[in-house]
Amino acid sequence: MPYDFCMTFDQRKLAAFVAVIDHGSVGRAAVACNMTQPTLSRLIREMEQRLGVELFDRHSKGMTLTASGEVFVPYARLLLHEMQQASEALDAMRGIERGTVRLGAVAALTRSVVPRAMARLLRAAPSLRLALLDAPQGTLTEALLSRQIDLMIAPDLPDHPDLLRISQCQFDDVFTVFCSTQHPLARSSDVDLDRALRESWVMPQRGSTPRALFDGLVLKAGRALPDVAIETSSVGAQIACVVHGRVLGWLPHPLIGSEIGNGTVKLLTIPELSLHRRFFVYRRSRGLLPEAARRFLDMLPQIAGNP
């Protein structure tokens, strides 16, 4: 039978359902929702009764989504998100500037233009809150599509029916090879591609966007991929491995600016492995952009006339 969603659900029940999915257990979900476990379980049971279906299978080790629960997840996230945005919009009409900017960006941005834009926003609207997700491009895309974030700043993405590119960020960077100043190559005035590829490297895991870009450049140059001695998704770990070991790294300039400044790493100019990146702001193609996110965009340096 059809359901009147506005009459069937309230915000607490939807929040309880989504919290169990996001936190993996009733206990952790109850803490996140600031309620007791029995209360949270009761809210989910009441929602199941109104729907006439079981959303979770209950077992000794916890709860798992049923087929009906899997189908309901994106609608629950949509309803909860729109309820929250409606509440914030009404607050704004009453002169109460509330809301949370839910933003995701790749590491090069979270260490440069994003903190400056956030600082400007908080000076202009101190009551706003900011939730920042620093993650690889693939993780950010999933977070935007699942409504965990409302804006994403990332390099150019392939066309996607559910994503909309709304502007270009006034910022770019270059991926560059670097090594410790104690590395033998640091004493060379000119290091060519073949010499660098004979060294050991630290890189992100295979399948990540930066690793795919690096491998693509090497193969485009007609060379075999180098020995990757260390794999880690942590930018900090990659830098530390270069500083304290005899491996080469490949990261954007903003991420190694401090190490360049204090003289612990040296850039190696290898044209075949230099990659320039531009960054764009994305939102979901459907639904309203929250007012808090719009305020953040006003503080972000953008290139006029783009995308």
50 and 131 belong to one structural domain: no
Do residue 25 and residue 119 come from a single domain?
Answer: no
Give the pLDDT confidence score for residue 27 in this predicted structure: 86
Residues 165 and 177 in one domain: no
Asked if 292 and 167 sit in the same domain, the reply is yes
In terms of domains, do 180 and 234 share one? yes
Q: Which domain holds residue 287?
A: 97-171+278-303
- The answer to whether residues 147 and 282 belong to one domain is yes
Query: Are 183 and 244 in the same domain?
Result: yes
Q: Are residues 71 and 220 in the same domain?
A: no
CATH of the domain at 249: 3.40.190.290
Q: Are residues 198 and 267 in the same domain?
A: yes
How many structural domains compose the chain?
3
292 in the same domain as 160: yes
Q: Which two tokens stand for residue 92?
A: 């704004």
Number of Cβ within 10 Å of residue 305's Cβ equals: 7
Q: Which pLDDT does position 92 carry in this prediction? A: 56
For residue 38, with 0-12 CB atoms within 10 Å meaning exposed, 13-18 middle and 19 or more buried, which class applies? exposed
Please report, in tens digits, the pLDDT of each residue of the chain (307 residues total). Answer: 344 444 456 788 888 888 888 888 888 888 888 888 888 888 888 888 888 889 988 887 778 889 998 888 888 887 877 777 676 666 655 544 567 899 999 988 998 899 999 999 999 888 888 999 998 888 999 999 988 899 999 998 888 999 999 999 999 899 999 999 999 999 988 899 999 999 999 999 998 889 999 999 999 999 999 999 999 989 999 999 999 999 999 999 889 989 999 999 999 999 999 999 999 999 999 877 888 898 999 999 998 766 5
- Write the CATH number for 9: 1.10.10.10
pLDDT at 306: 60
Round the CA-based radius of gyration of the chain to a whole number and report it: 24
Same domain for 259 and 298, yes or no, is no
87 and 221 in one domain?
A: no
Global pTM reads 0.66
Q: What is the pLDDT of residue 172?
A: 87
pLDDT value of position 91: 60
pLDDT for the residue numbered 1: 36
Rounded (5°) CA angle 275-169-276? 5
| Domain's final residue, options 55, 76, 92 | 92
Of 92, 123, 154, the one marking the end of a domain is 92
Q: Which of 92, 126, 157 is the last residue of a domain?
A: 92
| CA distance readout (Å), 258 to 132, 137, 210, 253 | 22, 23, 21, 10
Contacts of 134 (CB under 8 A, 6+ apart): 104, 105, 106, 107, 110
E strands in 77-226: 100-105, 129-134, 151-155, 163-180, 200-203
- CA nearest neighbour of 245 among 235, 230, 263: 230
